[in-house]
Structure 1
Amino acid sequence: MNLSMILEMAASNGDRAVATVGDRTLTAARLDTLARRAALDFRNHPAVLYLAANHLAYPVALFGAALAGVPFVPLNYRLGEQQLTALINRHPGALVLEEADLDALTDDALDEIDTSDLEGRWDGDEVAAIIYTSGTTSDPKPAILRHRHLLAYVLNTMEFSSAAETDASLVSVPPYHIAGLTNLLSNFYTGRRVVYLAAFDPKVWLDTVRREGVTHAMLVPTMLARIVAELGDREAATPSLQSLAYGGSRTPRPVLEHALRAFPDTGFVNAYGLTETASSVAVLGPEDHRVAFASDDPAVRERLGSVGRPLPGIEIEIRTEDGTPVEAGDSGLIYVRGEQISGEYGNRSVLDEEGWFSTRDLGHLDSDGYLFVEGRSDDTIIRGGENIAPAEIEDVLLAHPAIIEAAVIGVSDPEWGQRLVAVLVGSADPDEIRQWVKDRLRSSKTPDTIVFRDELPKTETGKLLRRNLLAELENTHA
């Protein structure tokens, strides 16, 4: 099967609106026509590279590439010229779509043309998309997603045409992020209109929810933090918003609890997944959020910090470094398996012989199957022979009322191997902060050094760039 199946099924809704940007809206039938027209040109190239923000041309380009039988490659258009050139050079002969090219893809004035010979591209093993990982700890890698991976995610988790005609989903994550791509597919499949924001601004986001009657939205944690900061102590006043999904990186507990108060009538969804897993593999649903937020039981309330339970078709195991499964409650490496899991870079698969993919994230499952992600295994700090997960310390730091953001880094130390440096956004006495941590954890997990910054280095989707911090701190605090 091919992603164009979703376009074909969506097109059966004819004049139903499927995508909006500003004052322009595409219907299902018009999108089908535009994608087919684009495919005639796309099939003369080995790939289609998309280097622009969210635009009505984005779904045209994605489905046009699927119809043409060539990979769709959304690139981070915010990268520097040298980095972008290096990525483009990996795809010789590819068609490069930049901002100036997009209006032509959605031009209503062009005549209709015969696209009947585009039928019949249904090989699920063909490459549908190549998405470069964000590279927070290493250089970006080309994650290969085949049609069968993306379709498995959609078909196993969504119901076709299940949305009301008035439903609308606000998408402000960038098009080169896996969530941007799978949001498009899942919304088109369910029949929900997609409302795109080309650039995120918290006030514009709130205004758009109200103006467009948005019922569903997805944010990365940095965006959610900016929205609740914009609201302050006010409620959001977004009565149409039924569901608010967040994910892509860890969400600070104070930000989540603030958001739950600000959107009291909205169902929250925490989604955990990776580019290599074709989007989400575990979800903490609205009822889970409500029960945990209202509970006085520490174990139940702690689930606000989890990413929920596996989606249909997904298996999750926690293993030691040597691959041995561990008991519930014990920490280890998170492994996942299922039809939607790619685990492929270029022509190299990293799945084991039984189809399991190591996420390289550390975590644990509780006795009821809730998954807790503790951070990247690459981030683990070894201090005096003890393995320390930065996330545990960061959560304690973020619970302090004066701390807005926190990152804990291990820098080289001749005596301890590594020592702990906490880089914080906020304003507080360093000794008070160290005592705050010591009272809640123990001495070995108390930061040796406290550093304050105006902001932390992050990707555009809100992931902390630890390697940038480590390079700086090794030079200044080693």
Structure 2
Amino acid sequence: MNISMILEMAASDGDRVAVTGEGRSLTSAELLEHARRAARLFRDHPAVLYLGANHPAYPVALFGAALAGIPFVALNYRLGDEQLTALRDKHAGAVVLEPDELNDFLDSTAAGDQDDDVEFPEWDGDAVAAIIYTSGTTSDPKPAVLRHRHLLAYVFNTLEFGSAEPDAASLVAVPPYHIAGLTNLLSNLYTGRRVVYLAAFTPAGWLETVRDERVTHAMLVPTMLARIVNELGDAEADTPSLRSLAYGGSRTPLPVLERALKAFPATGFVNAYGLTETASSIAVLSPDDHRTAMDSTDPAVRDRLGSVGQPLPGIEIQVRTEADDIAAPGETGLVFVRGEQISGEYGARSVLDADGWFATRDLGRLDADGYLFVEGRADDTIIRGGENIAPAEIEDVLLRHPAVVEAAVIGVADAEWGQRIVAVLVGDADTAELTAWVRERLRSSKTPDTIVFRAELPKTETGKLLRRTLIAELENANA
């Protein structure tokens, strides 16, 4: 098994455009020819490092590496020189594709005769397909290893080959060093959707591309979705071609989701929950789930709008208590997952337990019907006076205030309470008014002790909040 089999299957419909971006398009047959030529360039190297943005060169490099039997490593080209150099040094001898070389690389794989005498390695499902460095919000990035069998298990267990409509087009705006950038490509090729690459995201540029390219499917991280609804204000999006909008990668505040559902009334929303180590999504809240939750007067059903849905085929989910017992429905605990697509491997080290379960380090709960509610990272839990407090609950309440644009709730060390609750906000409001706002909607023990305003919140390039950065800054300021 090898992920290049997806491209070979797609190339059976060789006249169909597979990827579009940067003013260039490739059919699936052309993409396969480019990848084969790239594989000949790569075969004497230990890996391929891709440092560019979204570009048609990305799938050529990915499948070229797969055919050559070597790992593909997409690095965050926005990292500082010191970090980027350290990551590059871990892959000595690798082919390095720099941002300003992508057009030349693509041209080099378009020219020349196809050498049918070149032998590529036999397909091996256990071989490493990709290495994705985790975002490192709390520590140095770790090399998450994804083998061919992990990625193929995700595609084969969840999708139907060639199932897309002839006009289907998927806009990919998430960066290529994100797991969604990789699995979006595989999924779209397998189902037959044309991939439209957006190299640099802006809300106005994204909306314009959806309209101009008649995009039918798209995936966004929550920060992107929030920026788009802010761009629209009270107006509807006017994107009649858009049938499906997936969001995920980190938690989406409910107020942002509710505004998005109003802005895109004819679009089906999909909440996809997964991690790099799980080879993309492991649970999904479907468009039908969204509509049912929005229209329901049953509080339990309505609450599912804040869930990440139910497990995908081939995935098992457990929620465990601190005593390592299986949690009862509605009881919060640590989320564990198991399935063919789960890697749970960093470098040469696996963190799966003896029975194949992967500890996500997320806190969550399952309701009686198997809907998973993710309540944040276990390390983010605030313990105030012996009570465990989930920041997400307070953040959602604050974000419903009309003067609050963004919110981060963190715990800062306190001699009396263990931790005190600090809300760091983007916006302009009276602190006494905000304190009263939260107290009216939550009990007093969950009301922020301190409210701080910032021009912006620190985040990774994919929109994940850097809570540890905020905690360090606030604790240093009070030292």
**For the superposition of Structure 1 and Structure 2, which TM-score range results when normalised by the shorter chain?**
over 0.9
Q: Which residue of 1 aligns with 2:255?
A: 254
In 2: Cα distance, 1:319 partner to 1:360 partner: 11
Q: How does 1:62-461 map to 2 (within 5 A)?
A: 62-107=62-107, 110-119=111-120, 121-461=122-462
Give the superposition deviation at 1:109: 5.7
The residue identity in structure 2 corresponding to 1:212 is E
In 2: Cα distance, 1:233 partner to 1:240 partner: 20
Give the superposition deviation at 1:106: 1.8
Cα offsets for 1:362-392 (capped at 9, x unmatched): 0001111110000000111111122211111
In 2: Cα distance, 1:85 partner to 1:154 partner: 33
In 2: Cα distance, 1:446 partner to 1:254 partner: 19
Q: Secondary structure at the match of 1:342?
A: coil
Please provide the CA RMSD for this pair: 1.2
Q: If the length of structure 1 is used for normalisation, what is the TM-score?
A: 0.98
Residues 1:38 and 2:41 aligned together: no
In 1: Cα distance, 2:110 partner to 2:141 partner: 39
Q: Which moved more, 1:436-445 or 1:451-460?
A: 436-445
Cα offsets for 1:153-194 (capped at 9, x unmatched): 000011111112211000000000000000000000111100
In 2: Cα distance, 1:118 partner to 1:420 partner: 61
Residues 1:15 and 2:21 aligned together: no
**Cα gap change, 1:477 to 1:437, in 2 (>3 Å):** farther
The residue identity in structure 1 corresponding to 2:150 is H
Give the superposition deviation at 1:118: 3.8
In 1: Cα distance, 2:32 partner to 2:119 partner: 12
The residue identity in structure 1 corresponding to 2:160 is E
In 1: Cα distance, 2:324 partner to 2:299 partner: 31
Indicate if the aligned counterparts of 2:344 and 2:350 stay in contact, CA closer than 8 A: yes
In 2: Cα distance, 1:109 partner to 1:82 partner: 34
Q: Which moved more, 1:398-407 or 1:76-85?
A: 398-407
In 2: Cα distance, 1:173 partner to 1:436 partner: 35
List gaps (5 residues or longer) in structure 1: none
In 2: Cα distance, 1:323 partner to 1:97 partner: 46
Give the superposition deviation at 1:321: 2.6
In 1: Cα distance, 2:264 partner to 2:119 partner: 46
Question: What is the identity percentage for the equivalent residue pairs of Structure 1 and Structure 2?
Answer: 75
Cα offsets for 1:309-336 (capped at 9, x unmatched): 0000000000013321110100000000
Q: Secondary structure at the match of 1:273?
A: strand
In 1: Cα distance, 2:344 partner to 2:246 partner: 24
Cα offsets for 1:288-314 (capped at 9, x unmatched): 111111222222111111100000000
**Cα gap change, 1:12 to 1:109, in 2 (>3 Å):** closer
Q: Secondary structure at the match of 1:432?
A: helix
The residue identity in structure 1 corresponding to 2:126 is D
In 2: Cα distance, 1:371 partner to 1:402 partner: 31
In 2: Cα distance, 1:366 partner to 1:25 partner: 45
Q: Which moved more, 1:298-307 or 1:180-189?
A: 298-307
Q: Which residue of 2 aligns with 1:6?
A: 6
Indicate if the aligned counterparts of 2:18 and 2:26 stay in contact, CA closer than 8 A: yes
In 2: Cα distance, 1:244 partner to 1:233 partner: 19
In 1: Cα distance, 2:455 partner to 2:122 partner: 51
Cα offsets for 1:45-68 (capped at 9, x unmatched): 101000010011000000000000
In 2: Cα distance, 1:281 partner to 1:396 partner: 28
Residues 1:56 and 2:56 aligned together: yes
Q: Secondary structure at the match of 1:117?
A: coil
In 2: Cα distance, 1:328 partner to 1:40 partner: 54
**Cα gap change, 1:115 to 1:275, in 2 (>3 Å):** farther
Q: Secondary structure at the match of 1:5?
A: helix
Q: Which moved more, 1:403-412 or 1:106-115?
A: 106-115
Q: Secondary structure at the match of 2:118?
A: helix
Give the superposition deviation at 1:207: 1.0
**Cα gap change, 1:322 to 1:86, in 2 (>3 Å):** farther
The residue identity in structure 1 corresponding to 2:451 is I
Indicate if the aligned counterparts of 2:376 and 2:392 stay in contact, CA closer than 8 A: yes
Q: Which moved more, 1:281-290 or 1:384-393?
A: 384-393
In 1: Cα distance, 2:212 partner to 2:78 partner: 29
In 2: Cα distance, 1:453 partner to 1:202 partner: 22
Moved over 4 A (4+): none
Give the superposition deviation at 1:477: 4.0
The residue identity in structure 1 corresponding to 2:46 is P
Aligned length: 478
Give the superposition deviation at 1:398: 1.3
Give the superposition deviation at 1:111: 1.8
Cα offsets for 1:426-470 (capped at 9, x unmatched): 111111111211222222211110001111000111100011101
Q: Which moved more, 1:43-52 or 1:15-24?
A: 15-24
In 2: Cα distance, 1:336 partner to 1:434 partner: 38
Indicate if the aligned counterparts of 2:54 and 2:176 stay in contact, CA closer than 8 A: yes
Indicate if the aligned counterparts of 1:60 and 1:105 stay in contact, CA closer than 8 A: no
**Cα gap change, 1:257 to 1:119, in 2 (>3 Å):** same
In 2: Cα distance, 1:151 partner to 1:271 partner: 18
Q: If the length of structure 2 is used for normalisation, what is the TM-score?
A: 0.98
Give the superposition deviation at 1:341: 0.2
Q: Secondary structure at the match of 1:316?
A: strand
Indicate if the aligned counterparts of 1:411 and 1:477 stay in contact, CA closer than 8 A: no
In 2: Cα distance, 1:354 partner to 1:109 partner: 47
In 1: Cα distance, 2:386 partner to 2:335 partner: 22
In 1: Cα distance, 2:151 partner to 2:366 partner: 26
The residue identity in structure 2 corresponding to 1:463 is K
The residue identity in structure 1 corresponding to 2:31 is L
In 1: Cα distance, 2:339 partner to 2:28 partner: 31
List gaps (5 residues or longer) in structure 2: none
In 2: Cα distance, 1:33 partner to 1:313 partner: 33
